Structure 1
């Protein structure tokens, strides 16, 4: 078995493995998949496992920035992980994921996230549950009846991709969100070229939605001000005579929960997503932390796939900035493997990690300080 960059000449074989894993794609979706794969290959973000010169597995590394307490952290979004049925259970998938993590580090990502079809294979290489993506259904008539001042809105075009990316980033930063990630402007531009997706832009917000069989699909809706957010929701609600509901992935503290006067939101679907730290010191340095909090605690990190990064550390948090510094000893501190470190990073309390066997050592007072530093309700609204 050989794991290497997927060759553009092997796209048909890779698509065949994908079809045998998740079902066949339509002609149009197949071409879209190939276009995404070619861009990933060009940037060394798509790997294949070969047996006898034939592709038997592949995985794609998506280029994202993920928001943690309002700060953007470079994140490798792992998608399209597929293994041919006749090669499952042979170790191909595990070997492929090991190389995916190595390549993610080489590309400068400090975190990695994915949506698992099953958790066991990803836990075996250090990923852990971090949060959810929750899709809800909202009455469009309720959205239509939202009140607020008129806000200038305009139809967005492909030239607006960078402005949309800035609007989304500004909201995540100001809300101190944890979990949402951003698409590169080139990917946003592709959606803007799709006539089936309707996108409207304001000075401080954007909404994108499309028609589904019996509802609207809202891909993106975000704004920094209440007046703009209400205006964007009214755009979706203005078609209430055509579609009675809209479906959208919402964060747990999305303002629309508090905007609607009645209980007119129903949860339709919840998906878990998983996280892994690739470079723990860099991930801590990039993440946001609560301002005004002072923490100094001993940590020991043990990661079989990052021997150089394993060892004793001092964790300090001061004025919203975190740092992991190497020390000669972390006696009496908390010990974490990669799964525990990922879960802590995403806001899981140490008491829960200790009871699940993902953390050892420490004491109640230290736990309270560390928990306060990493406190978060992590969520995603996009899917990859």
Structure 2
């Protein structure tokens, strides 16, 4: 058995495996385009006697944490032939890519799970969820007179990217998008964009949407202030003679639109979305900004991480009165640690998806009441989201 990156001449076996695993077909001109964009160095495969048995793609991405970007390994396209399943191939690939990410300095990893319990075994944990709204046109927000203007399908990519970054940086776990990512993964020929500009000509919000089956399908609704939100909704409401309603997708979980509607009784759904995993706990914590306390604090923590031995074990966790944290290997045993949790729990805690005392209440963190209280006090309040898919 050999685990390695694919070669440039292995596009066909890679695509054929993906087509079978994900039940789609690429042909003709689209196949030629995909081959031109094929980046074999990003695809890791397991080979037996020269035959590709399983593969995954490791994407070099950047994610926002506390308003700053960190290097993140995005896992995508995990596939294996049915006759090779339940033989540990994917487990070996995941463990190998964890080592690669650690060597590359990617302190965080994210993926979209086909099955959440499967990836939990390897340390990934759900870190965000999204809302989906279905709003009949009669229940749209009221039209309002706004000082500003909405311009449709005329803004350049730099304007959209600037607005997106200001909005996305408010959340932990959102992507920093490159121009290539926008073009290949966000925009397409069927997607319209509309940008709200203030009276001073400042771009303050945008919509990405499609018109499908008499519906406004809104992929992204980004606004920097209330005026922009109202202006964009007034623009949408002016479609009332063309559509029967709107469907908003990938809405951040902290959104309160239903409360703001004249009649908030609309269909709403919540979905657990992506999973995340800290790749290197020491590096992640030492680049993190904690709440400032009047005195330095230090507790021992046992981190359970069977897949990444560089994380597994007992650490002295120190946070000084400037909010800087450090992890130092301890001689204590796991039974002596003040706190104990899995790498997945540590991930959702630091990303802000769940609070320490909440996790302790349900047995995801164990430890003394004093240590849990300290963890609650040093951990900043945060919110998580993701507006992309890979």
Answer yes or no: same fold by TM over 0.5. yes
- The answer (yes or no) to whether the contact 1:136–1:269 under 8 Å persists in 2 is no
State whether structure 2 residue 166 is matched by structure 1 residue 165.
no
C-alpha contact 2:151 2:195 (8 A) present in aligned 1 = yes
Alignment correspondent of 2:24? 24
The alignment partner of 1:242 has SS state of: coil
1:364 aligns with 2:369: yes
Q: Does 1:199 align with 2:205?
A: no
**Cα offset, 1:255, TM superposition:** 5.1
Note closer, same or farther for the CA distance 1:136–1:95 as it changes in structure 2 (3 Å cut).
same
1:182 pairs with 2:176: yes
Distance in 1 (CA, whole Å) between partners of 2:186 and 2:118 is 36
SS across alignment from 1:341? helix
Query: Does the C-alpha gap of structure 1 residues 297 and 188 become closer, same or farther in structure 2, counting only changes over 3 Å?
Result: same
TM-score (normalizing by structure 1): 0.84
Tell me what 2:261 maps to.
Answer: 260
Q: 1:383 aligns with which of 380, 384, 389?
A: 389
Per-residue deviation, residues 297-338 of structure 1 (Å, max 9, x unmatched): 42233433333344413241655x442231545654212332
Residue 160 of structure 1 deviates from its aligned partner by: 3.1
Q: CA RMSD in A?
A: 3.2
| TM-aligned CA deviation for residue 282 of structure 1 | 2.7
Shift of 1:383: 2.4
CA distance in 2, matches of 1:185, 1:258: 35
Contact 1:18 1:82 in 2 (8 A): yes
In the alignment, the residues of structure 1 paired with residue 277 and residue 33 of structure 2 have an alpha-carbon distance, to the nearest angstrom, of 26
Cα distance change, pair 103–332 in 1 and its aligned pair in 2 (3 A): closer
CA pair 247-194 structure 1, distance change in 2 beyond 3 A: same
Alignment map for 1:132-151 (pairs within 5 Å): 132-143=129-140, 145-151=142-148
Q: Secondary structure at the match of 1:152?
A: strand
* Count of residues in correspondence between the two structures: 376
> Structure 1 residues 121 and 255, CA, compared in 2 at 3 Å: closer, same or farther?
closer
Shift of 1:250: 0.9
Cα distance between partner residues in 2 of 1:156 and 1:221: 15
8 Å contact kept, 2:152–2:194: yes
Question: Match of 1:51?
Answer: 48
Question: 5+ unaligned residues in a row in structure 1: which ranges?
Answer: none
Larger radius of gyration: 2
Which residue does the alignment assign to 2:226? 226
In structure 2, relative to structure 1, the CA distance for the partners of 1:7 and 1:108 (3 Å cut) is same
Contact kept, 8 Å, 2:152 with 2:193, in 1: the verdict is yes
SS in 2 for 1:59: strand
Q: TM-score, normalised by structure 2?
A: 0.83
Question: Which residue in the other structure is 2:343 paired with?
Answer: 338
Alignment of 1:98-137 (within 5 A): 98-137=95-134
Assess if the C-alpha contact under 8 Å between 2:61 and 2:175 holds in 1. yes
Q: For each residue in 1:191-244, what CA deviation from the matched residue of structure 2 results, as whole angstroms up to 9, or x when unmatched? A: 676321111234132221112335232222212111112222333333233332
Give the deviation of 1:25 after TM superposition: 3.5
- Structure 2 segments unaligned to the other structure (5+ residues): 197-202
Q: Secondary structure at the match of 1:196?
A: coil
